[in-house]
Amino acid sequence: VRLLLELYRLQGNMTRVKINELKPLKPRFEVPDVLIADPITELLSVVSHNENHLVLSLGGSEQQLVVNARPFRLDIIEGPQVLVSLNSRGLLSFEHLRERKD
């Protein structure tokens, strides 16, 4: 199943990551009233990319978001230092929606 990765740069030096199926069978449940309104987003710009690697600028000259496709890994770095890493050990498992079979 193909997945859709959504990355949002939010005002206040925050990054939002959403993963879902590209063509879901039905919309996934999202908890209501967690956000009062949609947060204000800022622009991301592509620094470099190839078939397995994408680097986005997070506004500051030193802050970047690095996405690796295989294996999937997402790192937020500032200069040489990794601030946050998603799936650094390769243990993320995404269970897609399936038709129920009785």
CB atoms within 10 A of CB 15: 19
Q: What is the pLDDT of residue 82?
A: 94
Residue 74's identity, in one-letter code, is L
Which ranges of the chain have pLDDT less than 50? none
Q: What is the pLDDT of residues 37-56, one digit of tens each?
A: 888 999 999 999 999 999 99
Q: What is the pLDDT of residue 40?
A: 92
Closest CA to 7 of 52, 54, 49, 48: 54
User: Would you list the domain boundaries of the chain?
Assistant: 3-86
- Whole-prediction pTM value? 0.81
Q: What is the pLDDT of residue 30?
A: 85
Q: What is the pLDDT of residue 72?
A: 93
